[in-house]
Amino acid sequence: MRDPQRIEQILEVLREIWEREPDLRLGQIVVNAILPSDPCPQIFSAEDDVLLAGLHEYRRRVFRADPSGS
């Protein structure tokens, strides 16, 4: 199992970066952090409202599959 503490660590650093660069979209931050060898325009250019809608849908699927969240 992956270390659950990584979640808080990642969110903390992400918050620091995003608060410093609030005009960036989340996808831009992720791509800029990873610097992939192949371009990722679908991630880099995704608007945050589209990402948020996708996250809400993903959450619905996850909780439908395991309502206890475990």
What are the pLDDT digits (tens) for 1-28? Answer: 999 999 999 999 999 999 999 999 999 9
Give a yes or no: residue 34 inside a domain. yes
Total Cβ atoms within 10 A of residue 30: 16
Give a yes or no: residue 10 inside a domain. yes
The boundaries of the domain holding residue 25 are: 5-65
| pLDDT for the residue 68 | 72
Give a yes or no: residue 22 inside a domain. yes
Give a yes or no: residue 47 inside a domain. yes
Give a yes or no: residue 30 inside a domain. yes
- More reliable by pLDDT, 69 or 1: 1
Domain count, the chain: 1
Name the pLDDT band for 66 (thresholds 50, 70, 90).
Answer: confident
Give a yes or no: residue 14 inside a domain. yes
Q: Angle, nearest 10°, between helix axes 5-20 and 26-34? A: 110
| pLDDT for the residue 70 | 61
Give a yes or no: residue 70 inside a domain. no
Q: Mean pLDDT across the chain, nearest whole number?
A: 95
Mean pLDDT along residues 28-46? 97
- What DSSP state is assigned to residue 21? S
